[in-house]
Amino acid sequence: MASQTEENYLKSLFNLANEAGEVNISELAQQMQVSMPTVNSMVKTLQKNGWLIYEKYKPVILTQEGKKEAALVIRKHRLTEMFLVNKMGFGWEEVHEIAEQIEHIHAPKFFERMDEMMGHPTVDPHGSPIPDKLGRIQEVNYLTLSQCKTGQLVVLAALTNSSTEFLEFLNSRELNLGKELKIQSKESYDQSMVVSFKDHASETLSEKVCDRLLVRVIG
């Protein structure tokens, strides 16, 4: 069974993996906020446990078991976030830190019960998919708002970043998941966009913000 530390490395590896499924030691060190020698010794441990493939001076690659282990931790994290928001009344900006701890609890019944109580949600409060019990993730490919064209009607579906500051920014503009936005215009100079809401006035959103908003086009 993976230790808490190992679970955290697996999660980071899973999130950092590129198309080839490769992760560099330095990337991982930065993500985990530890030194490279620490990562070096930890990847050797993770390899012994069969969770990844490591060869000197090569990027590491998660094995199928490693991916599954990681996805199951992510499942616990996202179920917890959803439970905190839907059943305990927390805001989407408050749940990450708590879920970061609860994801390491070893109690299948606890997470299954959460799942049942919520009617088997497929996404977390930030729109990220919740892996199933076998660690399978249903990938959905949204567009970033930046990629959309003037005149399109879109629904805010997920985020590419869920930092507290960004979530608080979205709260201040009442930008919730499910919100419908119409793209009024795009400024070619700085890529900022003007969007209007169904009910009230329009907003100008910077490129940085538009890159972080994932949407479904509905018209």
DSSP for residue 146: G
In whole angstroms, the minimum distance from the beta carbon of 132 to a second copy comes to 21
Q: Of 87 and 173, which CB lies nearer to a second copy in the complex structure?
A: 87
The answer to whether the CB of 121 falls within 8 A of the CB of 113 is no
Tokens 């001076």 appear where? 57
- Site mask for DNA (CB under 7 A), range 93-132, x = bound: ----------------------------------------
Q: Of 38 and 86, which CB lies nearer to DNA in the complex structure?
A: 38
> If binding is defined by CB under 7 A, does position 138 make contact with DNA?
no
Q: Of 39 and 154, which CB lies nearer to DNA in the complex structure?
A: 39
The answer to whether the CB of 156 falls within 8 A of the CB of 176 is yes
Torsion of CA 121, 213, 168, 94, to 10 degrees: 30
* Two structure tokens written together for 61: 């690659």
> If binding is defined by CB under 7 A, does position 25 make contact with DNA?
yes
**Nearest CA to 68 among 17, 14, 127?**
14
Q: Which does 154 bind (CB under 5 to 8 A by kind): DNA, a second copy, none?
A: none
Task: Report the interface residues with a second copy, using CB under 8 A.
Answer: 84, 87-90, 94, 97-98, 101-102, 105-107, 109-110, 113-114, 117
The answer to whether the CB of 123 falls within 8 A of the CB of 137 is no
* Sheet with 22-23, edge to edge strand ranges: 22-23, 60-62, 52-53
Q: Which does 113 bind (CB under 5 to 8 A by kind): DNA, a second copy, none?
A: a second copy
Member of 18, 41, 138, 171 binding DNA (CB under 7 A):
41
In whole angstroms, the minimum distance from the beta carbon of 114 to a second copy comes to 8
Q: Which does 161 bind (CB under 5 to 8 A by kind): a second copy, DNA, none?
A: none
Beta strands in the chain (DSSP E): 22-23, 52-53, 60-62, 143-144, 153-159, 180-186, 193-197, 202-205, 213-217
Of 49-57, 83-91, 168-176, 184-192, the window that binds DNA (rule: CB under 7 A) is: 49-57
Which residues lie near DNA (CB under 7 A)?
A: 3-6, 24-27, 32-38, 40-43, 45, 54, 56-57, 59
